[in-house]
Amino acid sequence: MLGNFQQSHLRIEIEAQAEAIRDSLLEGEQLKQWMWPQRFTSLPSRLKTGASFSSFLGIIEIKHQVDLVEDNCLRLLLGKGIDGYHEWYWGEGWLQSRLEGISILPLSLGQSLSLLRLRQHLATR
C-alpha cells in the first residue's frame, strides 16, 4: 500500500437525536446523499455486519467491509485506497469518528468534510 500512516479522531455536536444519526450512517440512500462526491457500488439498503461495498473518490476505489454494527457504533474495515478502519460512535446530540489507515488521500481533511456534510444533512431533515 502506498501512502502514509494517518490517524484522525473527531467529535462534534449535532442537533439531532441518536436514531436520526444512526439512520444517516446505516441507511444506504441517506449515506449516498451526505457522502457526496463519493460514488458507491453494491451499497446495501441498510448496513449490517458482514456487508461489503465499494466507493470511489474520483478514480480511487475504497473497499468497505462492515465489521460491527450496534445501537451506537459502526466499524468499517477499509481496503484498496485506504488500508485501515473507520469507527463511528454517536448519541443524543453528538457524533465521534475515528479513522486510521495508510493512504495517499488526506484522511483528516476528508473526515472533517464528511462530518460537516453529515451535520448539514441532519439539519435539513
pLDDT digits (tens, 9 = 90+) for 23-65: 999 999 999 999 988 999 999 999 999 999 999 998 999 999 9
For residue 77, the tally of other CB atoms under 10 A from its CB is 17
Q: Among residues 107, 83, 97, which one has the least CA distance to residue 24? A: 97
Q: Among residues 44, 100, 92, which one has the least CA distance to residue 71? A: 92
pLDDT for residue 1 is more than 70: no
pLDDT at res. 37: 86
**Is the preceding peptide bond at 106 cis, omega within 30 degrees of 0?**
no
Structural domains in the chain, sorted by start: 4-123 (3.30.530.20)
